[in-house]
Chain A
């Protein structure tokens, strides 16, 4: 499908009035969000706030009940294929085909993103090396640990040099060295102009990496700010998070605890 070319100055992510209902319950309730290009953006919220549902709608895995989504200036889902070619994704659940080896999966992913066979193979080998996954080349993904799977998913998200990364808890289960490699790499990607949209429960990581953050609670954004603004207000991200999502307020600890 070929539509009008995307405006290169348009935001990386632009969401207007996004809503997702499951029965009567709103998982995402009128979300408005703008993520500028070249930004490292943290998307936070307590469990069940609607972060994963939002990401699933952004990548077309879930249909919004209402609202508009534009990624890289292109409307979703109308220009879905063009968008998908330009984004890198690390979702919460595994996207990996377990009966392939790591190298085979990366080559497969590269070819699905339009790389030729030789380029896909050489990039796959380099990425495996970079993410310290090249030790067992004949090992099936079924045998990978959780951390190895996450690293492989990150490698697959990078193979086509995307302009936008959508990452749902990318560091979960990854060891300290692996997480460091991933973080450095993502910062490099932002420096070259890519945009990273990240969800994480580790607020310290978000605070250190991200330029801007949004906090989602019960499907609505309760804070959208630059991390530097939070610091100037003499508040840590954790303080702001706890204050806004209401944790610890009105909760009585059981007597027996």
Chain B
């Protein structure tokens, strides 16, 4: 089979899968998705135009400084952005494709082209740079034309290899969870730099020395036409390394048996969590207790949930610390802020799409001889318990960090977090049935709810948080703690009424939308993985 026919077949199958998947979305959802893509690529097109303008003027000596910095940015975006943004991009799902009689070279080519298609921003920027260099009278026509496409190829092959390598590492659950956690913490690093001062930024960067020929330096010099024989050797070396790395990793992925199929013993932490679940569930009668226990066990064993739970009291502290620290000590609002942030983080895995982790097994809830009300209440109780546990850990960490924490403050933190939980649970019951989405509990990252709902949630958070916000407004206006607590109690009461009403409505929705709901949770993807 010709490579072009193979590519056409794969891309056609993926295109049809996407179309079939999106055919369920409303017209508004499709429009919004297209609009976001348009804005995103327009921004990158603007960056490309800026590169074309900026690179048209400097002298050759100035370019020798500017260009490597630009190429370095391209390199890091190309290689790391997909990882940091919780996605490894699209790639061939080799488990589905390796059964076909297709030469491995063709599959590799398809993989490389997919890498190109899913990181289209960088080729766009390189094209802008190429035009800029052509406009520059100090630079000859041919050198940028050779150097920049070669630099693009270098990045493509490297990215393909890096993806394969990361996938093989991430096939191990623990590595995946630790890596995801570290990456999340890395996102908070700029906050720490802001907190600690940015004067040290840039000190001792290894690529600053001109004697070290990093790829962006080598290719930059080649593009400017300023190079000697050693630069040619370096460019050839970088290219060879990238091609070999990309191909080797691809071959390894092709031959790798799924590590996931190896039997896995339950980790000790899960056993402890299960023990806690058993203990708590003894307080309620079956089937509520059975549901509650099942939820606690399942969630404690889901890497996805564990990551979010960890983030609540680690990443939360990291990003709010600079904003809530005055003259060397934490402000009073710090524990509340981190707790609310942690509960909002948890809402994605606990509230908004409560049946996502169940996937096809969600139909069990409809065939089991238990009223669906118990199912929702059981899931809600599990969510509330875990949110309470999260807040407790947040308070413990606050204590360790020396944040001000009086008895009244602890009461305020629990009061605010649990009142907010009531509203989130009420909204979550409706969204879980209206916008279900199957979620792999093994994946530490990726979307947990539908794109349409993610847009909606931007409006829902302020709306559902407004009653609690009102209590703070009352305190701000009156300066009275009693007035604050009274208003918070009112908010909790209103939340309970709202929860009760939404539960009844959710039950009707469950009955009405049962078939659609189950079908959505059974859906499968196409031949290209997009994580």
Which A positions have Cβ atoms within 8 angstroms of B? Answer: 59-63, 81-82, 84-85, 89, 91, 93-101, 104, 108-109, 111-114, 116-117, 136, 138-140, 142-143
Contact of A61 (CB < 8 Å), options: B361, B367, B370: B367
Bound CA span A207–B274, Å: 46
Bound CA span A116–B282, Å: 12
| Interface contact B367-A59, CB-CB below 8 Å | yes
Of residues B262, B265, B286, which shows the largest number of chain A Cβ atoms within 10 Å of its Cβ?
B286
User: Known: A61-B514, A81-B371, A113-B369. Is A91-B363 also a contact (CB below 8 A)?
Assistant: yes
Contact of A98 (CB < 8 Å), options: B293, B361, B368: B361
Contact of B366 (CB < 8 Å), options: A61, A93, A97: A61
State whether the Cβ of B263 lies closer than 8 Å to any Cβ in chain A: yes
| Interface contact B297-A112, CB-CB below 8 Å | no
Which residues on the A side are within 8 Å of B286 (C-beta)? 111-112, 114, 116-117
| Interface contact B264-A139, CB-CB below 8 Å | yes
What per-residue 1/0 map shows which CB atoms of B275-311 lie under 8 Å from chain A?
0000000000011011101100111011000000000
The closest CB in chain B to the CB of A86 belongs to: B369
User: Known: A113-B369, A140-B301. Is A95-B264 also a contact (CB below 8 A)?
Assistant: no
What per-residue 1/0 map shows which CB atoms of B353-374 lie under 8 Å from chain A?
0000111110110111111000
Task: List 7 other contacts, CB 8 Å, given A61-B514, A95-B363.
Answer: A59-B367, A61-B363, A81-B370, A100-B294, A104-B274, A104-B297, A143-B264
Of residues A109, A111, A139, which shows the largest number of chain B Cβ atoms within 10 Å of its Cβ?
A111
Contact of B518 (CB < 8 Å), options: A61, A98, A100: A61
Which residues on the B side are within 8 Å of A98 (C-beta)? 359, 361, 441
User: Known: A63-B515, A99-B301. Is A81-B369 also a contact (CB below 8 A)?
Assistant: yes
| Interface contact B290-A112, CB-CB below 8 Å | yes
The closest CB in chain A to the CB of B371 belongs to: A81
| Interface contact B360-A94, CB-CB below 8 Å | yes
| Interface contact A111-B297, CB-CB below 8 Å | no
The closest CB in chain A to the CB of B299 belongs to: A99
What per-residue 1/0 map shows which CB atoms of B293-335 lie under 8 Å from chain A?
1100111011000000000000000000000000000000000
Bound CA span A96–B298, Å: 12
Which residues on the A side are within 8 Å of B287 (C-beta)? 111-112, 114
State whether the Cβ of B261 lies closer than 8 Å to any Cβ in chain A: yes
| Interface contact A97-B298, CB-CB below 8 Å | yes
A-B interface pairs (CB < 8 A), number:
94
Which residues on the A side are within 8 Å of B297 (C-beta)? 99-100, 104
Bound CA span A115–B360, Å: 25
Which residues on the B side are within 8 Å of A59 (C-beta)? 367
State whether the Cβ of B205 lies closer than 8 Å to any Cβ in chain A: no
Which residues on the B side are within 8 Å of A97 (C-beta)? 294, 298, 358, 361, 364
Contact of A138 (CB < 8 Å), options: B261, B266, B359: B266
- From 428 to 450 in chain B, residues with beta carbon under 8 angstroms from any chain A beta carbon are 441-442
| Interface contact B360-A84, CB-CB below 8 Å | no
| Interface contact A93-B298, CB-CB below 8 Å | no
| Interface contact B441-A99, CB-CB below 8 Å | yes
Of residues B291, B297, B360, B369, which shows the largest number of chain A Cβ atoms within 10 Å of its Cβ?
B369
| Interface contact A60-B367, CB-CB below 8 Å | yes
Which residues on the B side are within 8 Å of A142 (C-beta)? 442
The closest CB in chain B to the CB of A117 belongs to: B286
Which residues on the A side are within 8 Å of B463 (C-beta)? none
User: Known: A99-B441, A142-B442. Is A84-B358 also a contact (CB below 8 A)?
Assistant: no
Bound CA span A94–B518, Å: 12
Which residues on the B side are within 8 Å of A82 (C-beta)? 369
User: Known: A62-B515, A111-B289. Is A101-B363 also a contact (CB below 8 A)?
Assistant: no
Which residues on the B side are within 8 Å of A111 (C-beta)? 286-287, 289-290
| Interface contact B263-A84, CB-CB below 8 Å | no
Which residues on the B side are within 8 Å of A61 (C-beta)? 363, 366-367, 514-515, 518
Which residues on the B side are within 8 Å of A94 (C-beta)? 360-361
User: Known: A61-B515, A99-B357, A136-B263. Is A84-B363 also a contact (CB below 8 A)?
Assistant: no
State whether the Cβ of B182 lies closer than 8 Å to any Cβ in chain A: no
Bound CA span A123–B357, Å: 27
Which residues on the B side are within 8 Å of A109 (C-beta)? 368
12 CB < 8 A contacts A-B = A61-B363, A61-B515, A95-B360, A97-B364, A99-B357, A100-B297, A101-B266, A104-B297, A111-B289, A111-B290, A112-B287, A138-B266
Bound CA span A212–B261, Å: 41
Of residues B290, B291, B299, which shows the largest number of chain A Cβ atoms within 10 Å of its Cβ?
B290
Q: How far is the CB of A65 from chain B (nearest CB, A)?
A: 12
Bound CA span A89–B358, Å: 18
Contact of A60 (CB < 8 Å), options: B291, B366, B441: B366
Q: How far is the CB of A243 from chain B (nearest CB, A)?
A: 34
User: Known: A97-B358, A97-B364, A111-B287. Is A63-B298 also a contact (CB below 8 A)?
Assistant: no
Q: How far is the CB of A64 from chain B (nearest CB, A)?
A: 11
